[in-house]
Amino acid sequence: METIEKLTKTLRSHGMKITPQRLMIFKVLENNTSHPSAEDVYKRVKKVYPAVSFTTIYKTLETLRKLGEIREFAIDDDRKHYDPNTEIHHHAICSACKKILDVFEDFSPHVKLPDFIEKDYTVSGFQISFFVTCKECN
């Protein structure tokens, strides 16, 4: 995700409007490495704007996703999570507490599909999920 200023310009250039709710959503997402669900974002925005609705959060997240500003991903089975960091990176998830850690190491030199598969498929990228147990849960 870009800075709030850039994001604002991007939305405006698409004929979209900037509202206080949206600005607050941007603020919650900025530099957020907690991989929040829509509900998580909702709770944080609600602290500042108690009248905000889940629908607004949901629709704005969907807007940001369509613009490519955030990424939606399925890592635990219960709900969808969002990641404002759209750069390629990997995740380590604690099977006990479900916390997700970002892993920025570049594995691309060593990870590629076997040739006989790559022949028939266009590969746009890959993502590694490490299954771990964190210090606190150990």
Partner DNA sequence: CTGTGTGCAAAACGTTTGCATGCCT
Partner DNA sequence: AGGCATGCAAACGTTTTGCACACAG
Q: Report the interface residues with DNA, using CB under 7 A.
A: 11-12, 15-22, 37-39, 49, 51-56, 58-60, 62-63, 77-80
Could you tell me the two tokens for 8? 């604002």
Least CB distance to a second copy at residue 35 (A): 13
- Residue 26 CB, nearest distance to DNA (Å)? 11
Measured between alpha carbons, how far is 61 from 1 in angstroms, rounded to an integer?
Answer: 12
66 binds, among DNA, a second copy, none (CB under 5 to 8 A by kind): none
CA neighbor of 28 nearest in space, from 16, 36, 5, 66: 36
| List of E strands, 34-117 | 71-73, 81-83, 90-94, 100-103
Q: Does 52 bind a second copy (CB under 8 A)?
A: no
Q: Give the C-alpha separation, 20 to 79, whole Å.
A: 26
The residues, ordered by sequence, that sit 6+ positions from 42 with a Cβ below 8 Å of its Cβ are 52, 54, 57
Q: How far apart are the C-alpha atoms of 39 and 45, rounded to whole Å?
A: 10
Q: Does 98 bind a second copy (CB under 8 A)?
A: no
The binder of a second copy chosen from 5, 17, 77, 87 (CB under 8 A)? 77
Distance of CA 105 to the CA centre of its chain: 18
Q: Is 120 near a second copy (CB under 8 A)?
A: yes
Of the residues 14, 76, 86, 97, which one makes contact with a second copy according to CB under 8 A: 76
Residue 74 binding partner per list DNA, a second copy, none, with a CB distance cut-off of 5 to 8 Å that depends on partner kind: a second copy
Residues that bind a second copy (CB under 8 A): 72-77, 80, 92, 94-95, 101, 103, 105, 107, 110-111, 113-114, 117, 120-135, 138
